[in-house]
Amino acid sequence: MKIKEQVNSQKIYEFKITNGTILSIKQQNDSLNHGTTIWDSSIITARYMQHLLRSSNDSLNDKKCIELGSGCGLLGLVMCSMGLQTTLTDLEYVVINILRDNVKYNLCILNQQRKENSCLLNAQVKVLDWTITQLQPPEFTPPYDYIVATDCIYSLDLIHHFVRCINELANEKSIIFCGLERRDPLVTETFVNACKNGFNVVKIPEKRLRKIISKDLDNDISNVNVEIYRLKKKNH
Ligand SMILES: C[S@@+](CC[C@H](N)C(=O)[O-])C[C@H]1O[C@@H](n2cnc3c(N)ncnc32)[C@H](O)[C@@H]1O
């Protein structure tokens, strides 16, 4: 991830993806809102997901992905670039001020780079508030095959809303990845315990994660304390 351009409080970062395509993700530093910054856990989780999906034998074009708390949209755009039909979501302020533009711009770039006979990539942007939304059709169409989120676990008050939300969006086959920066151990432990009621929870081993990202990242963020959790809904 490199800075391409900086104008006043706005920075544009470049993120290389497969076949030489580069995503340009804008962030705003002056908004006093978490969602207009690209957080380290999204960069690391995006690289991890690229690695994982590249080595999967599954056809991804018929798979649906939803991202919660997308912010500037890096991870959702990477999921989309791998062929998944992706819905990126956030609160209205973030959707209007950064997410919608980042997705529109990059979807255009991604589709321009597609080979003539391959189908166009598809990404949608929607407002989704974990505390109030009813996640029903036609707006949302659970179950999603992949549910992803990064740096959304930072406030004790939001954890049960977030977990309820992924529970509504998933079925037993859905694969859920949550990347987070371990700041306050209490927050992380509360999240993991809240998930354990309804989900099988596996933390991606740190050694494995470091091995994957150290090969791939342009700049060194390997010292950042990022953890990725893989969840699968339990059969009841
Ligand atoms: C720390 S930012 C992470 C942004 C992005 N995922 C990243 O890693 O760069 C947390 C995100 O969660 C979103 N968020 C916070 N509360 C939310 C809620 N109640 N419903 C939906 N999104 C929420 C914020 O708007 C913000 O985009």
For residue 91 and ligand 1, the question of a CB distance below 6 A is answered with yes
Q: What residues does each domain of the chain span?
A: 34-233
- Which band of pLDDT confidence, cut at 50, 70 and 90, is reported for residue 57? confident
- Pairwise CA distance, residues 151 & 74, whole Å: 12
More confident residue, 2 or 70: 70
Mutate to test the pocket of ligand 1, among 77, 78, 90 (most ligand atoms within 8 A of CB): 90
Which residue, among 149, 150, 147, 146, has the nearest Cα to 41 in the 3D structure? 150
Element (H, E) at 147: strand 146-150
- Indicate the pLDDT class of residue 2, thresholds 50, 70 and 90: confident
Q: Hey, which of 39, 65, 91 would you mutate to test ligand 1's pocket, going by the most ligand atoms within 8 Å of its Cβ? A: 91
Angstrom distance (rounded) from CA 230 to CA 63: 18
Q: Tell me how far the alpha carbon of residue 196 lies from the centroid of ligand 1, in angstroms.
A: 22
Shortest-distance Cα residue to atom 3 of ligand 1: 151
Q: What average pLDDT does the segment 58-73 reach? A: 93
pLDDT at 210 over 80: yes
Question: Cα(69) to centroid of ligand 1, in Å?
Answer: 4
Domain 34-233: give its CATH architecture.
3-Layer(aba) Sandwich (3.40)
What is the pLDDT at residue 222? 59
Band of the pLDDT at 216, cuts 50, 70, 90?
low
| Percent of the chain predicted with pLDDT > 70 | 94
The confidence score (pLDDT) of residue 102 equals: 97
